[in-house]
Amino acid sequence: MSAIDFDRFQGAARYIAEDTLLSDVNAAIALGRPLLVRGEPGTGKTMLAHAIAESLEMPLLSWHVKSTTTAQEGRYHYDVVQRLNDSRFGDIDGIDVRDIRRYIKLGVLGQAFTAPQQVVLLIDEIDKADVEFPNDLLRELDEMAFTIPELDETVRAEKRPVTIITSNAEKELPDAFLRRCVFHFIRFPEPERVLRIIDAHMPNLEERLIHAAVTRFYEVRRVNGLRKKPSTSELLDWLVVLASAGVRPQEIAKRMPFLSVLVKQEKDLEVLGRRFGQA
Amino acid sequence: MFDLLLLNLRRRDLKVGLGEWMAFLDGVGKGLAVDLDSLYRLGRAVLVHQESQFDDWDLAFTATFEGVEVDEKLSKALDEWLQDARNTAGDLTDIELEDDELRRQFYERLKEQKERHDGGSKWVGSGGTSPFGTGGRASKGIQVGGGGGRRAIQVAGERQWADYRQDRRLEHRDFEVALRALRSLTREGPMELDVDDTIKRTADNAGDIDLVFRRKRVNRVHLRLIMDTGGSMSPHTRLVTQLFTAAQEVKGFKSFEAWYFHNAPYGQLYESFETRQRKPIEELLRDWTPQHRVVFVGDASMAPYELFEPWGYGGMTDRRTQLSGLDWLKRIRTRCPASVWLNPDPKRWWRHPTVEAIGAVFPMHSLTLAGLRDAIRTLRRGGH
């Protein structure tokens, strides 16, 4: 096999990726392993899955993990309550309570495994869930299969979904889980790439405005003691506000207009206010 | 060469497992690594799982491939070696073997390979004078050297991931994440309806509603943070403040209190140094139980008499009980065995009589990310 077969993901039109990200995505696809993406908030981890789906022209299935999410929710849900209700009160024609399939609903994993074509599966913010959550998914990620005991059936993916897992590294992920993933760490982009990102999103912005704003943006990121450093998405928001308010580039260099778009935490605003002489 | 890479990785404490190693070889076999540059990227993606270990990967990679000479024969040898390793891997994974046995066989195979290869010319050496060279691209297998190779070595040599190492100093967020691991949840809270069990019991009960209740999960950990301030601790103020805010912000501790002392606690702890509000340790210890988790933060270094003598430091002497600072520390430790000491000073400064004496009372960890994690593990074990 040649390398070209796997070199499928080239980055989507609006997603400006590092070289190593492209090769890591392709390695994950070729090896059939999930890609674990970690990085600061706002470095485009979730966007990556969208970009891959767009570029490979595959449907995207997203599973947004919350603190209460369990692995079972991803597999399937057996709606006992509905069945109970139907068995007692369901007089509607055509409902066969004896048919258990009627009450088994596939979760996102189940849908991804049974999809007629290969899909991109996004498991977003896996670190939000309980510590044991990733361990509960080991078999699913290894074999891309799970069993439904109620039906005595195994759901198995014909075509392994391109699996992207994102994490903010809030919790440490278990070793056994990490060993099954291809790992990519998104670094905060350097100014050059930030400029390309801005260009991809807002091609018609005045160059001097961009220059002034980006300079200020990196100044803010360098300030010590910030709770949350502003990220690219906040920079993009800031630029939109600056442009639509008609702020002149010189003003950005003098003071910090609309600072609260860039920095959201009150304590951070205080810190910056002291630093730049305006709250 | 690949066994050397594995060896170098293990030497740098990167615990590469058999599964990842096979996946790595699989990737090479599938043509994902056509030169050193892509080999570097593939290896890092598959074999390394944390950005904090990227630096170790860079170092191991440089150690393995720096000074590698380009040789047509080498590419071929590598190709064969890989082919062989892949076949072996296939055989091995087919058979159900104990993990250790699998590993042993794999390493034996590696050893054989090494001997066979080393019989020929020497192909790894740091003394090689010729650079990586160009051209000589083999049609398949790995190309060693070439423009790409030089780049990979350069990239690895730049050590741009050094900042991400685990022994770097802490940030606010890291504190929070680490402290969160201290929580221990138990079902002791108020009653709540257990929906799942209710449904199950109702179904078992042929549809007659059967309500099930259970207690809510609560965190039963009491945390006490006791911090040294002033004097030699001044350079660490920012770090200690961050630890304090993080501990305050981690929600869900059953109780959290912060106390201060200077040098060593002499009979009393301060609620705040500005207001000089304080409380006798004896009184505090009556409230604290062995279930309380106690975290000391301090550099533990002072003049010996300040720790070992009952008249201690300046006006803070405790003449009544005739107990030294060290005695008070021991008392706290006896009452709350789940206690640790975090030291912001680098470890090489710990060879100091008072640091060693305090280190004999409390398990001492450095105030770094790795150290804090160790400390939390110690606390979870009950302080040992």
How confident is the model at residue A88, as a pLDDT? 73
Q: Does A87 touch chain B (CB under 8 A)?
A: yes
Contact B32 A6 (CB under 8 A): yes
Residues 6+ apart with CB under 8 A from B78: B1, B2, B141, B142, B144
Chain B residues closer than 8 Å to A6 by CB: 30-32
- Scan residues 67-86 of A and list those with Cβ closer than 8 Å to B: 80-81, 84
- Residue B323 near residue B267 (C-beta atoms within 8 A): yes
Average pLDDT over residues B149-162: 62
Model confidence at B169, in pLDDT bands (50, 70, 90)?
Answer: very low
Bridge partners (DSSP) of residue B228 are: B261
- pLDDT tier at B122, thresholds 50, 70, 90: very low
Asked if A26 has any chain B CB less than 8 Å from its own CB, the reply is yes
* Residue of B24, B38, B44, B171 to mutate when probing chain A, most A C-beta within 10 A: B44
Give pLDDT, residue B73: 45
The alpha-carbon gap from B212 to the nearest alpha carbon of chain A, in Å, equals 15
Name which of A24, A169, A179 is nearest B41 (Cβ-Cβ).
A24
Q: Tell me the pLDDT tens digit for each residue of B227-236.
A: 888 777 777 8
Q: What is the mean pLDDT of chain B?
A: 72
Of A3, A31, A227, the CB nearest to B34: A3
By CB neighbour count within 10 A (0-12 exposed, 13-18 middle, 19+ buried), where does B210 fall?
middle
**Closest to A234 in 3D by CA, of A212, A190, A192, A264:** A264
- Strand bridging mode B268-272 / B277-280: antiparallel
Contacts of residue B241, defined as CB under 8 A and 6 or more positions apart, other chains included, come to none
CB A245 within 8 A of CB A257: yes
Distance CA A164, CA A151 (A): 29
Confidence of residue B139 (pLDDT cuts 50, 70, 90): very low
- Note the pLDDT tens digit of each residue in A32-53: 999 999 887 777 888 889 888 8
**What integer pLDDT is reported at residue B253 of this predicted model?**
79
Give the mean model confidence (pLDDT) for residues B268-277. Answer: 77
**Share of residues in chain B with pLDDT > 90 (%):** 10
Among residues B160, B157, B131, the alpha carbon closest in space to that of B145 is found at: B131
| Closest Cβ–Cβ partner in B23, B50, B177 for A171 | B177
Q: How far apart are CA A31 and CA A29, in angstroms?
A: 6
- The pairing of strands A153-156 and A120-124 is unpaired
Average pLDDT, chain A: 83
Q: Using the beta-carbon criterion (under 8 Å), do B42 and A23 form an inter-chain contact?
A: yes
Binned at pLDDT 50, 70 and 90, residue B237 comes out as: confident
Instruction: Let me know: does B138 contact B79? Beta carbons within 8 Å.
Output: yes
Establish if A2 touches chain B: CB-CB under 8 angstroms. Answer: yes
Q: How many degrees, rounded to 5, is the angle at CA B234 between CA B233 and CA B237?
A: 95
Please list every residue in chain B whose beta carbon sits closer than 8 Å to the beta carbon of residue A268: none
> Concatenated DSSP letters for A162-205?
EEEEEE--SSPPPHHHHTTSEEEEEPPPPHHHHHHHHHHH-TTS
- Residue A76, token pair as written in the block: 């399937």
Is A3 part of the contact surface with chain B (CB cutoff 8 Å)?
yes
Q: Kindly tell me if the per-residue pLDDT of A12 is higher than 70.
A: no
- Angle value at C-alpha B70, between B72 and B147, nearest 5 degrees: 115
Above 50 in pLDDT, residue A269? yes
User: Which positions in chain A touch B41 (Cβ < 8 Å)?
Assistant: 20, 23-24, 27
Helix, strand, coil percentages in chain A from 3-state DSSP, rounded to 5: 45, 15, 40
Q: Is there a contact between B50 and A84 if contact means CB atoms under 8 Å apart? A: no
Q: Indicate the pLDDT class of residue A3, thresholds 50, 70 and 90.
A: very low
What is the reported pLDDT for B47?
A: 92
Contact B189, B218 (CB under 8 A): yes
Q: Is residue B129's pLDDT more than 60?
A: no
Q: How far apart are CA A86 and CA B242, in angstroms?
A: 56
Q: Which amino acid is at B191?
A: M
Specify the residue for token string 């929580």: B183
**What's the token pair of residue B124?**
């790894």
Q: Which of B20, B32, B51 sits opposite A3 (nearest CB)?
A: B32
CB pairs under 8 A between A and B: 81
B45 contacts A184? CB cut-off 8 A: yes
Average pLDDT over residues B166-189: 66
Helix (H) or strand (E) holding A143: helix A138-143
**For residues A194 and A184, what is the distance between their CA atoms, to the nearest angstrom?**
19
A86 neighbourhood in chain B, CB within 8 Å: none
Instruction: Yes or no: say if B47 and B26 are a contact pair by the CB < 8 Å rule.
Output: no
Top-confidence residue, B100 or B194: B194
pLDDT digits (tens, 9 = 90+) for A163-188: 999 998 655 677 888 889 999 988 88
- Look at residue B204 and tell me whether its pLDDT is greater than 80: yes
Per-range mean pLDDT, top range of A25-29, B266-270, B305-309 = A25-29
pLDDT in tens, A75-131: 999 887 788 778 777 666 677 888 888 889 999 999 999 999 999 999 999 988 877
Q: State the best of B49, B50, B139 to mutate against chain A, taking most chain A CBs within 10 Å.
A: B49
Of A143-157, A256-270, B129-143, B353-367, which range is least confident?
A: B129-143
Angle between helix A19-31 and B36-47 (nearest 10): 70
